[in-house]
Amino acid sequence: METTFMICAAIGGTLIVCQFAMTLFGLGGHHDVGGGEHIDVGGHDVGGDHAVGHDHDSTWFLGVLTIRTVSAGLAFFGLAGLIAHRAKWDAFPTLAIATGAGLGALFLVAWIMKQLVKLNMDGTVRIERALGCHGTVYIPIPADKAGQGKVHVGVLNRTLEYKAVTRKDALPTGAKIVVVAIVGSDTVEVESAHG
């Protein structure tokens, strides 16, 4: 039994060290096998916590089984088993402790990875998100779309600068504005925020 625990600890530990080394050299990739990825399909978020046409319990269980979690489970199964075996415990309690440690490590690593995925945010601010946001004129905007000015607009807790046009009266520097339309990839149409 000691040999089994030693082999499990060696395999699990080796996989953990290899994953760590690959991550240091940028070879680890960003996705693990078994779920947690989100795919945008026609405007609908598919994956992660959403089971599409599948039993939710089986999707959840398969999402837990990844290279990282299985490596941790094997390593802790082997280490806990070795410790209990060398402490001269009986076979059943030794196996129970090893199994508990392995499953505990597997689920703990799965939970940690799920929490890390939640931290991943798309920091890209798309111009479409500026629609309806308020801001201030930075460079005066001529009336009747006769030319462009520039505005500073608050989008997603950031201040962004966009080229701007207006259909109505000219807007001087410092005027409070609201974005009413998207004109181009870096240009918005604005109106005075005061009517």
CATH superfamily of 127-192: Nucleic acid-binding proteins (2.40.50.140)
Long-range CB contacts (within 8 A, 24+) of 85-89: 85/1, 85/2, 85/5, 86/2
Q: What is the pLDDT of residues 59-110, one digit of tens each?
A: 666 667 888 889 999 999 999 999 999 998 998 999 999 999 999 999 999 8
CA–CA gap between residue 191 and residue 171 (Å, rounded): 8
Residue 159's φ and ψ, nearest 5 degrees, are: -105, 120
**Strands 176-182, 134-139: pairing kind:** antiparallel
Q: What is the pLDDT of residue 51?
A: 40
56-64 vs 91-119: helix axis angle to the nearest 10?
100
How is the chain split into domains, by residue range?
A: 2-119, 127-192
Q: What is the pLDDT of residues 118-169, one digit of tens each?
A: 777 666 778 888 999 999 999 999 988 888 999 999 988 889 999 999 998 8
Model pTM greater than 0.75? no
Q: What is the pLDDT of residue 195?
A: 66
CA–CA gap between residue 162 and residue 137 (Å, rounded): 10
What is the C-alpha end-to-end distance of the chain, expressed in Å? 81
Q: What is the pLDDT of residues 15-65, one digit of tens each?
A: 989 988 888 888 765 544 444 444 333 444 444 444 444 444 556 666 678
